[in-house]
Chain A
Amino acid sequence: MTLLEVRDLCIDYFTSTRVIHAVRGVSFDVAPGERVALVGESGSGKTTTALALMQMIEPPGKIVGGTAKLNGTDLLALRGDAVRASRLANVAYIPQGAMNSLNPVLRLREQILDGLVDHGQRLDRKAADALVAGALKGVGLSPDLARAYPHELSGGMKQRACIAIAIAMKPDLVIADEPTSALDVITQKQVMATLIAAQEEIGCGLLLIGHDMGLMAQATNRVIVLQHGLIAEDAPVGRIFTDPQHAYSRMLIDSVPTLGKRAETAAPAVIAKPEAASLMEFDKVSKTFGGGLFGNDAVRALDTCSFRLADEHPQIISVVGQSGSGKTTLARMVLGFETPSTGEIRYRGKPMAAMRAEERRAYRREVQAIFQDPYGSFNPFYKVDRALSLPLANFGLTTQGGSARSRMEEACEAVGLDAGEVLGRFPHELSGGQRQRLMVARALMIGPRMLVADEPVSMVDASLRMTILGNLQRLKDRFSISVIYITHDLATAYHVSDYVLVLHKGRIVEAGLPGDVIERPEHPYTRSLVDAIPWPDPNRHWGTGAPDRAGWDARQIIRGQSAGFVLNAAG
């Protein structure tokens, strides 16, 4: 028995000169109570397919063919008011932008009830109160929140509220479009658990849209892989992860880093000799924003910390934390974009605040960065070449005119880019992956001693992430560059780094070698983070334990030091 039967679904987008076949003859089934993943990278047609089931394709898009029978009724053949009536009652939708999906000027109560009222339900005040309270409790929210406005809720609470609204009429099918993409991993796990519990409670089918194979392994029964608007593979979750039939499915699965398969390259931990020349040193550095004369609240972005990075032993230091943990503040202080509120930062033994002009110049050249948003890193007014040629000119790295071009070409090839294809273009003409690799090429060309990589792959398609991280690793080995890798993603940190710092609310809570910190976490916060990683392995269950929030403020744990990086205990 099937709940949903999609056959030959075709959706086109029309521009003035072209037709883009966004979805090309897609067919699949969903059984009652089944959770089906619709996976693909951006532009694969996954969201378009889902929106079509509610006839929510906006012009210039158009459904040009196919059927989608839900319990025997063709959803695509509905016309007029029946389209509206089937939404929420039969097919419900949980939107992607959890942060902005609730009407900012209406209380939650009204946003839960208005859908019911418009589907003909008549409720007196008492019945309505009971219904709202039940809906909120069903997703783990307090009934008192009925009177709250969206801005009073956290991101996770907003997404729970969206779930409560969507399932209020016990629909036959729920479509969840990347419901956790804006949330941190710990909240993601809890919200997914809530969604699955609610879905099992009402026994509806669930179509979960996303790009994270790990999440799909944990949350669904069956995975449909979409590529270029076609189904590449449609298989039960137990089989697709062990025996993918399509090269693209395999690539998606392989692009998710897992623990335990780490290539041990790092030398065993040794305590760096104190007399070794230091490259960068944080001496009791902290950073506080705000406060002062005008009395806005001061925010402690980074608690006092001290560490020393030696000039020898180049290595990758990962700084892991969620948003607001202070990891970006740390990176910006390393780059000299922020000055510490207390303490001193020294580069090659020289305090940054007291550098002479030529020392400052050398520091500028030797400490480089790669930022999260590769598009924003390019000035949209110029061709991309300028991002590479500017440092060459400013730092006097070339003397002859001809060699600038050849150095740029060399750098492109070193990161696997075809120089002829990318140079001479404007930034918007390149893909996200190409732009970010150009940024790596730029850093490489300058030949720094130290590189800060601030979330360098979080805005890049999954298939390119490991490639770019691999570039960073080769950079380190070939040119002896120390890398500070800032990320929210424990799994990639596990793979690329020699040493890991875990930051929580501006405090380093745990530090050590990746094999220790991430495989055998000791601090309750690190443990919550590791527990929340969705493994791309349906046999390794995610667990249902709630995070130990009370323990997150426990004292710092430092396990082992690395060659060339010395972290002093807080205090």
Chain B
Amino acid sequence: MYIQRILRRILTLLAVIWAAATLNFFLPQLAPKNPITEKLTQLAETSGISGNQIAVLTEAFNERFGLDQPLWKRYFDYLHDIATFDFGYSISSYPTRVGDLIGGALPWTLGLMITTTLVSFAIGTLVGAYAAWRRDSLLMQAVSSVLMVFSAIPFYLIGLVLIYFLAAKGGWFPISGGYSLFSIPGWNWSFALEVLHHSLLPALSIAIASIGIWAIGMRGMMVTVQGEDYMVFAKAKGLKPRRVFLRYGVRNAVLPQVTTLALFFGQVVTGAVLVEIVFGYPGMGNLLLESITLFDYPTIYGIVFILIVTIALSMLLVDLIYPLIDPRVRA
């Protein structure tokens, strides 16, 4: 049963990936602009190439990127390429391959997002559960109100506030970048420390809001669970409060949170685009922004495809994890 369901799920996922990838391919085709002409016109404005030369160059580029092929052929080439994770050359930073651009940016984003997400989930869930458990305490009501306010603010606005007070005014943190301009990336302690120093503020701006989000969600679930009959029975059994809280309350209230967490990982690539932009952090957010402003379609395709795959994988993750934590869906 379990295996069968997972297999069915994987098939559905492939279908979703295909549908989304197709949309991803055809949507830009509707654009009134030709990316190559656009790009070359831009070049022409800055370097003074004549109109004639542009036409020749356009043709050369179209041939190189296969843009002179009929649409259906380009579509099947595209499907074949993405199936092998080959996204071709970047237009704007030719001759770098899109795969290399993404490979350079992805670890930064994943490192930042996965760490902060896990840490904020753990802190937020526990704080939220406790806030519901001690609902009558004034301290917990105050904590809840603060968390509620934080949960409503977008990450990057918190980032701007943190930059202003802790970096620009306080000077304790760098204003921008993933590492200092003068150092050479490498696997050594001093560079690692530098990276940590640079990513602390972006991480903090994500964490402040997301702890609030997790805590408020958990608090709501925990309040619901506290009204359940099994909580009354647990208290009537004379169980220690700690056991009632953890094994009966949190254990049940956390279930929907885990689903949300898995789905959150689907947003890991684009979840903090603006934070990365605000902090000039060398991750996927900045890569995306660059490729969009320069109409670098191969790169955009690559990023979107990575994104679709992560979202699909996160949905699969939910299906894999949920039966492990909730016996009712194990069947």
Contacts and interface: CB of A to CB of B under 8 A. Distances in A.
Interface of A: 54, 56, 59, 84-89, 92-93, 95-97, 99-106, 114-115, 118-119, 149, 151, 162, 165-166
B234 A103 contact: yes
16 contacts: A56-B235, A59-B136, A87-B235, A88-B236, A88-B238, A95-B232, A95-B233, A96-B229, A100-B228, A100-B229, A102-B230, A103-B230, A104-B326, A105-B255, A114-B239, A149-B328
A101 B229 contact: yes
A56 B231 CA distance: 12
A85 B328 contact: no
A85 B239 CA distance: 8
Q: 9 tightest CB-CB pairs across the interface, nearest first?
A: A87-B238, A97-B229, A93-B236, A100-B229, A88-B238, A115-B237, A149-B327, A101-B233, A101-B229
Contacts of A114: 237, 239, 243, 247
Given A104-B326, A105-B255, A115-B237, 10 more contacts: A56-B232, A56-B235, A88-B237, A101-B229, A103-B230, A103-B251, A106-B247, A119-B238, A162-B233, A166-B237
Interface in B230-282: 230, 232-241, 243, 247-248, 251-252, 255
Contacts of A100: 228-230
Contacts of B237: 87-88, 93, 114-115, 118, 165-166
A103 B248 contact: yes
B240 A84 contact: yes
Nearest to B249: A103
Nearest to B230: A103
Contacts of A92: 236
Contact of B239 (A115, A149, A151): A115
A118 B252 contact: no
* Chain B interface SS verdict (over half): helix
Q: Residue among B230, B234, B235 with the most chain A CB within 10 A? A: B230
Given A151-B327, A151-B328, A104 B239 contact: no
A93 B235 CA distance: 10
B327 A104 contact: yes
B326 A105 contact: yes
A97 B229 CA distance: 6
Given A95-B229, A95-B232, A118-B243, A104 B252 contact: yes
Q: Residue among A84, A102, A165 with the most chain B CB within 10 A? A: A84
A103 to B, nearest CB: 5
Q: Residue among A92, A96, A115 with the most chain B CB within 10 A? A: A115
Q: Residue among B229, B234, B238, B252 with the most chain A CB within 10 A? A: B238
Contacts of A104: 230, 252, 326-328
A169 to B, nearest CB: 9
B230 A101 contact: yes
A97 B231 CA distance: 11
A149 B328 CA distance: 8
Nearest to B231: A103
A184 B261 CA distance: 41
B238 A89 contact: yes
Contacts of B248: 103
A96 B228 CA distance: 12
A99 B233 CA distance: 12
B12 to A, nearest CB: 14
Contacts of A84: 238-241
A66 B81 CA distance: 81
B328 A115 contact: no
A166 B136 CA distance: 29
Contacts of A96: 229
Contacts of B251: 103, 105-106
Contacts of A149: 327-328
Contact of B247 (A59, A86, A99, A103): A103
Given A84-B238, A85-B238, A115-B238, A102 B233 contact: yes
B233 A118 contact: no
A87 B240 contact: no
A93 B233 contact: yes
A190 to B, nearest CB: 21
Contacts of B236: 54, 56, 87-88, 92-93, 95
Contacts of B229: 95-97, 99-101
A115 B237 CA distance: 6
A322 B132 CA distance: 40
B227 to A, nearest CB: 10
Contacts of A59: 136
Contacts of B235: 56, 87
Contacts of A93: 233, 236-237
A116 to B, nearest CB: 10
A88 B236 CA distance: 7
Nearest to A88: B238
A97 B234 CA distance: 13
A164 to B, nearest CB: 12
A99 B229 CA distance: 9
B65 to A, nearest CB: 44
Q: Residue among B234, B239, B326 with the most chain A CB within 10 A? A: B239
A94 B230 CA distance: 11
A104 B229 CA distance: 11
Contacts of A85: 238
Contacts of A165: 233, 237
Contacts of A166: 237
Nearest to A84: B238
A103 B136 CA distance: 25
